[in-house]
Amino acid sequence: MNESIEIEYKILLTKDIFNQILLDYKDRITTDYVQTNYYLIHPILFQKRYMLRIRKKNERYELTLKRPFQYNRLETNIDISEETKDKILNHQEVHNEIMDILKDNGIDPLELENQFSLTTHRYDIQLEYGTLSLDENTYLQKKDYELEYEVIDEKKGYQHFLQIIEPYHLQYTGNCASKIKRVLNQL
């Protein structure tokens, strides 16, 4: 199990600005991959502002729980097998640290629902204060574009994020809605 504090700044982009940033940073892209998120929902998850997903990336699976923590999010990740992924999606009993956290919070893992997934073509760029990601997201026959900067130092990362978006005349007033919220808004 891996836990970390997630500090990120993110903003939605138009397709044209996404393509321009991608072009401007093309020589600095360190990884380029496709990942699929299977979002798990439950009324108590929403009440507590938790996010739970299974991510498939490079033929591997990861179960992630994000919970509010101070002004950021506490992210808990564990690698799981495809068999475990299938058990979770088919309402079968699974034992791991994240399922224990859910049970401790009154959430029956057998009641988790998966109604949708989101596929992201992600381009990662390693910068001084963290990882800049350009995401082309596809869900429910819709496509959107997002710039995300996950940083280690909140203040320096924020200032650098503003410098990154300034040449594109983008205004940052706070993080855009999360991917799961954008999908839910389309339902």
The sign of the dihedral angle between the CA atoms of 94, 98, 103, 106 is negative
* Token output for 7: 């500090």
Q: What is the pLDDT of residue 96?
A: 97
Helices (H), 38-153: 43-48, 82-89, 97-104
Instruction: Tell me which residue range forms the domain holding 128.
Output: 2-186
Q: What is the pLDDT of residue 181?
A: 93
Count structural domains, the chain. 1
Q: What is the pLDDT of residue 30?
A: 97
What does pLDDT average to in each consecutive run of 10 residues of the chain (187 residues)? Answer: 94 98 98 97 95 96 96 95 97 97 97 95 97 97 97 96 98 96 91
CA 10 to chain CA centroid, Å, is 11
Q: What is the pLDDT of residue 89?
A: 96
Q: What is the pLDDT of residue 187?
A: 83
Tell me how far apart the alpha carbons of residues 60 and 79 are, in angstroms, rounded to a whole number.
8
C-alpha dihedral (38, 43, 45, 47), degrees to nearest 10:
140
Report the CATH number at residue 11. 2.40.320.10
pTM of this structure? 0.92
SS3 assignment, position 44: helix
Q: What is the pLDDT of residue 71?
A: 84
78: left (phi over 0), alpha (psi -120 to 50) or beta: beta
Phi/psi at 104 (nearest 5 deg)?
-65, -20
5: left (phi over 0), alpha (psi -120 to 50) or beta: beta
